[in-house]
């Protein structure tokens, strides 16, 4: 622990962030979203409502969907954390990223990182089998542009692809 100017102690946390081990010093009140955006310059996760109501900040914590605005960074000690920046490989997009492009599942794009991370978690949960279940389980992610139909179509396409639901992520090559 190291002292801060206000006399509060920062806490050292160890985590795997986008497949890379990291050691970070954080103040006890720092949210995961603020850590990602302000200290690590990972700005894919957005600060929409800052109250856990819009889903723009959704990331994957130990494979589960969480709102980074409601999660304290100190709670992530020892965790495996994946943000939108960690989904693609150097060679190819994640299947959901490719499906979002194919289905034009975004307009302004503000909610897209949270939508995609939430959809990755949704597929990993393995509970959504029907369009209605996808709709219900994605209801925590709001789209102010109303691209819900295209978002659902992208998710449903990936759900139907058996190779994308395997334990190891499969990547889709995208050619320009």
The domain made up of 11-85 has a fold known as: Ubiquitin-like (UB roll) (3.10.20)
| pLDDT (tens digit per residue) in 4-60 | 556 789 999 999 999 999 999 999 999 999 999 999 999 999 999 999 999 999 999
CATH for 95-165 is: 1.10.150.120
Pick from 22, 32, 18, 173: nearest CA to 97: 173
**Tokens representing residue 52 in the block:** 């856990």
| CATH fold match for the domains 11-85 and 95-165 | no
| pLDDT (tens digit per residue) in 129-140 | 899 999 999 999
* Domain ranges, ordered by start, for the chain: 11-85, 95-165
How far is it, in rounded angstroms, from Cα 69 to Cα 34? 8
Contact yes or no for 114/141 (Cβ under 8 A): yes
What's the pTM value of the predicted model, to 2 decimals?
A: 0.87
Locus of tokens 């494979």: 63
pLDDT at residue number 176: 46
pLDDT at residue number 173: 56
């Amino acid at each position: 622990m190291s002292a801060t100017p206000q006399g509060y102690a920062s806490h050292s946390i160890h985590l795997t962030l986008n497949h890379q081990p990291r050691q970070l010093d954080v103040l006890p009140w720092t949210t995961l979203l603020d850590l990602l955006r302000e200290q690590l310059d990972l700005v894919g996760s957005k600060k929409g409502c800052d109250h856990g109501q819009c889903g723009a900040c959704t990331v994957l914590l130990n494979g589960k969907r969480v709102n980074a605005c409601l999660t304290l960074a100190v709670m992530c000690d020892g965790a495996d954390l994946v943000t939108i920046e960690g989904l693609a490989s150097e060679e190819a997009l994640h299947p959901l990223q490719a499906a979002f492009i194919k289905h034009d599942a975004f307009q302004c794009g503000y909610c897209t990182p949270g939508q995609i991370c939430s959809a990755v978690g949704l597929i990993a949960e393995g509970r959504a089998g029907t369009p209605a279940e996808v709709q219900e389980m994605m209801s925590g992610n709001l789209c102010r542009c109303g691209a819900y139909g295209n978002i659902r179509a992208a998710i449903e396409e990936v759900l139907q692809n058996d190779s994308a639901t395997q334990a190891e992520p499969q990547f889709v090559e995208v050619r320009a």
